[in-house]
Structure 1
Amino acid sequence: MLKNYLKIAWRNLTKHKAYTIINVGGLALGMAVALIIGLWMQDELTHNDYFSNKDTIAQIFQSQTFNGETGTGPAIPRPLEKAFRDGYMDNFEHLVMASWNNSQYLKYKETSISRTGNFMQREAPEMLDLNIIKGEKDGLREINSIMLSASTANALFGNEEPIGKVIKVNSQYDMMVTAIYEDIPFNASFNDMHYLMPWDKYLTTAEWLKNAEDQWGNNSFQMFVQIADNTTMERVTSVIKDVKKDLNEDTAQFNPQLMLLPMDDWHLRNFFENGKQVGGRIKYVWLFGIIGVFVLLLACINFMNLSTARSEKRAKEVGIRKSIGSQRGQLINQFLGESFLVVLFAFLIAVLIVVISLGGFNELARKEIDFPWTLPSFWSISILFIIATALLAGSYPALYLSSFRPVDVLKGTFKAGKHSGLPRKILVVLQFTVSVAFIIGTVIVMQQINHAKNRPIGYDREGLVQIPVMSQDFTGKYELMRNEFIASGAVVEMSSSSSPTTNIWSNRSGWTWEGKPEGFQEDLAYTEVSPEYAKSLNLKIVAGRDFSREFPSDSNAVLLNETAVKYMGLKDPVGKLLKDEDTENPSEPLKIIGVVQDMIAQSPYEPVKQGMYTFDKYGNASFYNLRLNPKQSAGQNLAVIERVFKEHFPNIPFQYDFVDEEYGEKFAAEERIGRLSGIFTALAILISCLGLFGLTSFVAEQRTKEIGVRKVLGATVFNVWNMLSKDFLKLVIISCFIAVPIAYYVMNGWLQEYPYRVILKWWIFALAMLGALFVTVVTVSFQAIRAAKANPVKSLRTE
């Protein structure tokens, strides 16, 4: 019986090739989109599955309140470690202090490379359950030990045995390789951790790190924990919540609240708003999941529409089969069999499409997804996916076609009924409602990105290059390198800074000034700079003056940005003093000598943060900022800069970043979402148009005799086109009026997440509606005009 069903289904499909191509092609596109979105979602939802202990690993997060606004992040003070170890260790299996991810120069013999990694306490490899390829898991036992990822070891040692070898770090200290661990995969936290060094070694690298041991206000560290087996994340959070506030009166005014953020939430739910966890990338997982379902639904709607539209063509077949004894259940099985065959072909084509496009998708989505050929669970899900899609696409046509009465069909009195086309019209409206909503959403996403991109950033990022300063080799050489670079002709100005131009690495409070409101809790972005900082960035001085080498007193001077002046309530800031309230380590008052224009250093979607720039008198530079010579090409300038660099630092790899590229990375996530949304929207429209094309073809075929008669009676091509097109245009117009309020509600909610956002304008919705109507007219017109130009004599003869 099954063989017979499949044989008949195959004959029906091959007999109507155009109908089959539209159905299989539309379903294949819909299934390909659903598959690739499914793979992307799986990659997102399994982030950190590499770590066997991920269900019990967490990071300590801290919330602090400044002037009624609560901020939350992973920065914690060093004394917290002692507090936890002294009184709370029964809640933890492991507790690990860590530095921030940072780059170091690693040198072995003549090979010198730069890699990112961390300083962590001894328990880190055990907590993370790193896969040790060579050496021992307790590789951080000795203070001068280092653990390397497999790729880093290969880059340094090649085929040599790495264990026991000594490498030079930052030209500063010797470290012995004690272990090689497997590279952490791309879809996991710590994937850029290419080395691990002991925490105790980190504490010896700078005086401020030692001094931070009892500084509760110095939130410059990270802490990772693995909770004990007999407790939960919620219970531990409730226990540790007020530890910092209870133990330190100085910081209690900021109401510090501690919590555990589980490893499961690091990637998908790491956004906080006013101290509350409000989500993160999980919203995009849901968004693309919904898009995948809708695109597949559009393809299924095409199948339903074309199958039911051809009902009169199959009516006689149903009548004959019923008259010779076929039961309705057998007919349903027959039509579902046809649906299954179409879906199976479509799935095979969809797999081919996914395999071909996966490389480009990975590049666009910044992923490393492989097609799961060898994964049994994938094929099990795929079989269920095929069956579910076949049932979804074929159930309504099967039930509809099997309901025909054989007597009416064989007598020739069968009529589909004046309302028989209503379900098809509803489905077409649904299709284009989804498509128009997708168009509006994509346009608004791109508008928001361009809105932020066109925002004035306050400095000139073109021709600005950053060189990281990570080694002791750079100590005391700023003046020399500045003179050398400028003398080379490749650089017109150079400065140094403690933070990159495109980020803020330090925030400070504890300042007082004349007129400071009682109880005001300030929070200022803090950057130490050389005198030429504003000049090298082309940063405008809007009041007072810039730092100058002619004034030795500028070593105790400060520049404020415009936002800081408003934030602090200063009317005439130039000449005023900023005093440090720190009683343990007081510093001299800083004199405000000028106000600089606001520059965007963090998110371009957020307001500029209040900031201060102080004179770097202790050589705390982390970056050289070079303004390239605009009269020469960037390539020429960089070649000269590298030559000069290598003359003074022969053992250090030459690294640099273009500031405009670094700034562009701030839009990367939104741009990826926008591009992917655009692609999926285009595919949704294409699938909808395929269905519309098929329906128009069928209607034209169904009304061949009517068109012939009308042409004989003098109807023009326009008259025939209008007759065939107007019903479809009405449906699309209805879709537009349904899609617009839905899209407005959803996208307006999405935009509320951005303080600096685009204003929704009527033309965005009008453009989407006109676009949908244009596509409809083009799609329908092809078949309508073809039918209108057909020879009426031939049409009437065939009837």
Structure 2
Amino acid sequence: MFRNYIKIAFRNIRKNKLYSFINIGGLSLGLTACILIMFYVSHEHSFDKFHEDSDDIYTLRAKALFGGDTIFVQNFSAATGQMVQENSAFVDDNIRIFQEYKPLIIKRTGLEPKSFSEEGFFYTDPNYFNFFSFSLLKGNPETALKEPFSLLISEEMANKYFGDENPIGEILQVEKDSIYNYTVKGVIAETPSNSSIQHKFVASVSSLQKTKGNDGLFNSPIVRGGAFKTYFKINDATQIEKIAETTNRLSKEGNSESKDLFFLYPFTETHLKFSRNAGIGYLDVFPLIAGLILLLALINYMSLTTARASYRSKEIGIRKVNGASRKEIAFQFYIESTLFISLSFLLAGILSFLLKDFFFNLLDINIDTAFFLNQNFILTLALIFMVSILIAGMYPAMVMASFNPIENFKKKTRNDLGGGLVRKVCTTLQFIIAVILIIGGITIREQMSHLQNIDTGLNRSDILMISLEKSMGNNIPAFRKEVEKLPAVKGTSISGYPLYGGYDMFYASSENGEPMALPFISIDKNFFDVLELKWKLPPEDPFLPEQPKKLVINETAIEKFKLKNDPRGQNIEMAGAQFEVVGVVNDFHYSSLDSPINSLAMMVSKSNSSINKFNSGSLYVKYQKTSSLPALIKSIESSYVKFDAEKEFSYQFMDDAFNEMFKSEQRLAHIFNIFVVLTIIIAGLGLLGLATFSAQKRIKEIGIRKTLGASVFQITSSLSLDFLKIVLFAIIIAIPIAWLLARNWLENFVYRIDLNIWIFLMASFATMFVAVLTVSFQAFRAATSNPVKSLRTE
């Protein structure tokens, strides 16, 4: 019997090609969206859970209170971990990790010298492989990190520097302030993509102690902020609060004035909570939207299946007359639904595999292909498969099984077994979801456009920012002069950081206020002209800012530090010294748009090279709008390599750096647009199927109307009107829901758009256009058919 059900199901697929295409196509699109989204969501939730003792590992965090500011601290002194372990019976082990946040030059010398600028350089304790479950392909995990200048490299780096050679015992030179020779003691297996620790090079922490300029990292004997990420392996998760209390007590013992508040956070949750790349907002929104898209596809299937039920009424009647029970009829249609879902799931799996790279590029994430075989993800797929079968098969099976064969045999016309009211409700729900998503997509796009075009108080266009590293040293002035000689260059400036790429932070105070954090950047005198900053209170002497211990501040700093309306001549204490305010610029956005403009202090330096003394600097190049950018960049790079052959030439347009700050929202906009398109396609397919069914059901009515003189327009309008009423009703319901959701989302932004009525009108028009196009196409085909043929056929 089961085999017979399968045969009937395949026969119906072949016989009704249009409906089969709509059902399988719609289900495949919905399932593809669902699979890709759940693949991403499962991956994000799986971070760091591959470690053997992942549930026992916690990271240390702290809230530092200073003045009116709260700063979250994630790095601590070198002594913190061991002190907490020694004073708490609930801590079994601890480990410190220090990461180089700037690229280092790594060299292989010898017969085949190789040199690259590398990121992902870590220093850690010898218990690294006992604490975490990283695999060492070559080398002894117990001793590999015990000696100074011991180095472990990833499998990728081993191939990059040594090819097929055995790297164990070989020397790699690491260039910082000096050149240090590291001995390769092991090769680490590639870290999975769901690891928050992504290392390429792992050196012994004792190496850091013997590196110049790092004595201060190890001098503090107390629990406080510092340079090391600190992890604990605990033996009782119920005692987390007590461990935190111990840490706070130790902090107070080391510094009675400390206002730091320490707490422990589960290692497996730190990625979602603290990582900038986690996209935590997506993890709540995307599954919901993917579920809605899948629901639309399942609704399509149920609507079309039940609508077509009347065409199979005699088949079901004969089965019942021949003894088939209601349960057997229901089971038959469940088998058919399972077959449709299975074919759609197979096609969705193929589409997901083909589209995964495109999808992950939009999200700007990297996920191992092997994660497709992850146990939790496979269980998620199985759950989606079973739920889809349950939802898709339940209503059609109930409708078919409840059919009365005797009543149908008595009538020449087909009953509407599918329930017209149910289909209208389903179609309305589909278009409510479609309208909400369209309005959401337009709102996100307009908000992104608003942020990108906001008045930042400075000139961002036509400015190139070139990274300057310490390796260029005293060659900076010569390099700058060569750049300024280029015909396309209008002017240059130098700062300690590229704009929107960071700044220093000092605690400062005025005579009228308490200490608080003050963002600080080092610049040269051209900075104000190149970026076209506006002076609120210019310096009385243009050369005054270049003198020692002089500051230029922004407007917000006047209010925050309780200075006079004209603060020129007043002092701000910073880093233990007094600095005189000599000028005030109008507020401008130098950081994220997530919060209002904060205070800012700028120190003008005479020496170009001194700016680069402690931090990587940036050369700002203002160029002619009409210049050829490829030619300009090539010319600048040619000059750069003459003065710094070690570091790679790196640049960024200021506009791009600005847009990078809300990259997360831009990715959301791209993905949301895809969701909107999928929703419209699926809703359109469902509407097309129902319109086709309606036209077939009224084929004789159409023939009679044409015979009596009805025009094509009249017939098309008559067939389309019922569906367009449903779509219009859906729009009316969707608009207030979409307005509420959009308003709540926009409240997350300090600088946001107003929800203008045109957004809702545009979404309504787009939805009606798709509906009219879909329904009218099928209605026109029915209206132009030959009435003689339809009236002759019984």
Structure 2 unpaired stretches of 5+: none
Query: What does residue 186 of structure 1 align with?
Result: 193
Within-5 A mapping of 1:701-720: 701-720=696-715
Q: 132, 137, 146: which one pairs with 1:141?
A: 146
Query: What does residue 634 of structure 2 align with?
Result: 639
Mean alpha-carbon deviation: is it higher for 42-51 or for 14-23?
A: 42-51
SS in structure 1 of the partner of residue 662 of structure 2 = helix
Within-5 A mapping of 1:249-328: 252=258, 255-270=259-274, 281-328=279-326
TM-score (norm 2): 0.90
Which AA in structure 2 matches 1:6? Answer: I
Cα-to-partner distance string for 1:461-517 (whole Å, 9 max, x where unaligned): 34434444444x33444334433443466755444433331133432213224xx24
Q: Structure 2: how far apart are the matches of 1:650 and 1:91?
A: 48
- When residues 689 and 711 of structure 1 are mapped into structure 2, their CA distance, relative to the original with a 3 A threshold, is same
Q: 554, 558, 565: which one pairs with 1:561?
A: 554
SS in structure 1 of the partner of residue 55 of structure 2 = coil
TM-score (norm 1): 0.89
* Alpha-carbon offset, residue 295 of structure 1: 1.1
Query: What does residue 14 of structure 2 align with?
Result: 14
Which AA in structure 1 matches 2:307? Answer: A
Which AA in structure 2 matches 1:592? Answer: V
* Alpha-carbon offset, residue 312 of structure 1: 2.1
Contact 1:237 1:258 in 2 (8 A): no
Are 1:164 and 2:162 counterparts? no
- When residues 194 and 285 of structure 1 are mapped into structure 2, their CA distance, relative to the original with a 3 A threshold, is same
Q: 611, 616, 626: which one pairs with 2:600?
A: 611
Query: What does residue 91 of structure 1 align with?
Result: 91
Query: What does residue 276 of structure 1 align with?
Result: none
Contact 2:81 2:94 in 1 (8 A): no
SS in structure 2 of the partner of residue 55 of structure 1 = helix
- When residues 31 and 403 of structure 1 are mapped into structure 2, their CA distance, relative to the original with a 3 A threshold, is same
- When residues 760 and 66 of structure 1 are mapped into structure 2, their CA distance, relative to the original with a 3 A threshold, is farther
* Alpha-carbon offset, residue 39 of structure 1: 1.6
- When residues 240 and 707 of structure 1 are mapped into structure 2, their CA distance, relative to the original with a 3 A threshold, is farther
Query: What does residue 421 of structure 1 align with?
Result: 420
Which AA in structure 1 matches 2:295? Answer: L
Query: What does residue 173 of structure 1 align with?
Result: 179
* Alpha-carbon offset, residue 374 of structure 1: 5.7
Are 1:497 and 2:503 counterparts? no
Which AA in structure 1 matches 2:757? Answer: W
* Alpha-carbon offset, residue 218 of structure 1: 8.9
Within-5 A mapping of 1:539-554: 539-545=533-539, 550-551=543-544, 554=547
Contact 1:534 1:546 in 2 (8 A): no
- When residues 141 and 529 of structure 1 are mapped into structure 2, their CA distance, relative to the original with a 3 A threshold, is farther
Are 1:111 and 2:114 counterparts? yes
Query: What does residue 461 of structure 1 align with?
Result: 460
Contact 1:146 1:175 in 2 (8 A): no
- When residues 711 and 71 of structure 1 are mapped into structure 2, their CA distance, relative to the original with a 3 A threshold, is farther
Cα-to-partner distance string for 1:293-347 (whole Å, 9 max, x where unaligned): 2111111111111121123212222222212211111111111122122222222
Query: What does residue 130 of structure 1 align with?
Result: 134
- When residues 602 and 221 of structure 1 are mapped into structure 2, their CA distance, relative to the original with a 3 A threshold, is farther
Which AA in structure 1 matches 2:595? Answer: E
Mean alpha-carbon deviation: is it higher for 787-796 or for 211-220?
A: 211-220
Q: Structure 1: how far apart are the matches of 2:358 and 2:275?
A: 29
Contact 2:459 2:531 in 1 (8 A): yes
Mean alpha-carbon deviation: is it higher for 727-736 or for 642-651?
A: 642-651
Contact 2:461 2:655 in 1 (8 A): yes
* Alpha-carbon offset, residue 663 of structure 1: 2.8
Q: 327, 330, 333: which one pairs with 2:328?
A: 330
Q: Structure 2: how far apart are the matches of 1:794 and 1:508?
A: 87
Cα-to-partner distance string for 1:342-361 (whole Å, 9 max, x where unaligned): 22222222222223222222
* Alpha-carbon offset, residue 527 of structure 1: 1.8
Are 1:228 and 2:238 counterparts? no
Q: Structure 2: how far apart are the matches of 1:350 and 1:245?
A: 55
Q: 344, 347, 353: which one pairs with 2:345?
A: 347
Are 1:576 and 2:569 counterparts? yes
SS in structure 2 of the partner of residue 246 of structure 1 = helix
SS in structure 1 of the partner of residue 664 of structure 2 = helix
* Alpha-carbon offset, residue 695 of structure 1: 0.6
Q: Structure 1: how far apart are the matches of 2:465 and 2:169?
A: 35
SS in structure 2 of the partner of residue 525 of structure 1 = strand
Q: Structure 2: how far apart are the matches of 1:465 and 1:208?
A: 33
Cα-to-partner distance string for 1:552-572 (whole Å, 9 max, x where unaligned): 862211111232223223343
- When residues 459 and 148 of structure 1 are mapped into structure 2, their CA distance, relative to the original with a 3 A threshold, is farther
Contact 1:494 1:624 in 2 (8 A): no
Query: What does residue 124 of structure 2 align with?
Result: 121
- When residues 552 and 341 of structure 1 are mapped into structure 2, their CA distance, relative to the original with a 3 A threshold, is closer
* Alpha-carbon offset, residue 422 of structure 1: 0.9
Query: What does residue 675 of structure 2 align with?
Result: 680
SS in structure 1 of the partner of residue 591 of structure 2 = coil
Query: What does residue 54 of structure 1 align with?
Result: 54
Within-5 A mapping of 1:357-368: 357-368=355-366
Q: Structure 2: how far apart are the matches of 1:280 and 1:157?
A: 34
Which AA in structure 1 matches 2:34? Answer: A
Which AA in structure 1 matches 2:557? Answer: A
Cα-to-partner distance string for 1:619-664 (whole Å, 9 max, x where unaligned): 3341131315436433333333333333233344333333333333
Q: Structure 2: how far apart are the matches of 1:547 and 1:195?
A: 51
- When residues 715 and 247 of structure 1 are mapped into structure 2, their CA distance, relative to the original with a 3 A threshold, is farther
Contact 2:341 2:389 in 1 (8 A): yes
SS in structure 1 of the partner of residue 94 of structure 2 = strand
* Alpha-carbon offset, residue 166 of structure 1: 3.0
Which AA in structure 2 matches 1:133? Answer: L
Contact 1:466 1:623 in 2 (8 A): no
Percent of aligned pairs sharing the same letter: 28
Total equivalences in the alignment? 780
Which AA in structure 1 matches 2:499? Answer: T
Q: Structure 1: how far apart are the matches of 2:482 and 2:256?
A: 47
Q: Structure 1: how far apart are the matches of 2:418 and 2:155?
A: 68
- When residues 378 and 640 of structure 1 are mapped into structure 2, their CA distance, relative to the original with a 3 A threshold, is closer
- When residues 580 and 220 of structure 1 are mapped into structure 2, their CA distance, relative to the original with a 3 A threshold, is farther
Are 1:769 and 2:764 counterparts? yes
- When residues 128 and 573 of structure 1 are mapped into structure 2, their CA distance, relative to the original with a 3 A threshold, is farther
Cα-to-partner distance string for 1:386-434 (whole Å, 9 max, x where unaligned): 4432231121111112211122111127874799311111111111111
Within-5 A mapping of 1:778-793: 778-793=773-788
Q: Structure 2: how far apart are the matches of 1:621 and 1:719?
A: 76
Are 1:195 and 2:198 counterparts? no
- When residues 719 and 415 of structure 1 are mapped into structure 2, their CA distance, relative to the original with a 3 A threshold, is same
SS in structure 2 of the partner of residue 526 of structure 1 = strand
* Alpha-carbon offset, residue 688 of structure 1: 1.0
* Alpha-carbon offset, residue 113 of structure 1: 0.9
Q: Structure 2: how far apart are the matches of 1:328 and 1:211?
A: 78
- When residues 428 and 661 of structure 1 are mapped into structure 2, their CA distance, relative to the original with a 3 A threshold, is same
Q: Structure 1: how far apart are the matches of 2:378 and 2:418?
A: 41
Contact 1:78 1:219 in 2 (8 A): no
Structure 1 unpaired stretches of 5+: 273-278
RMSD of aligned Cα (Å): 3.3
Q: Structure 1: how far apart are the matches of 2:634 and 2:747?
A: 46
* Alpha-carbon offset, residue 690 of structure 1: 0.6
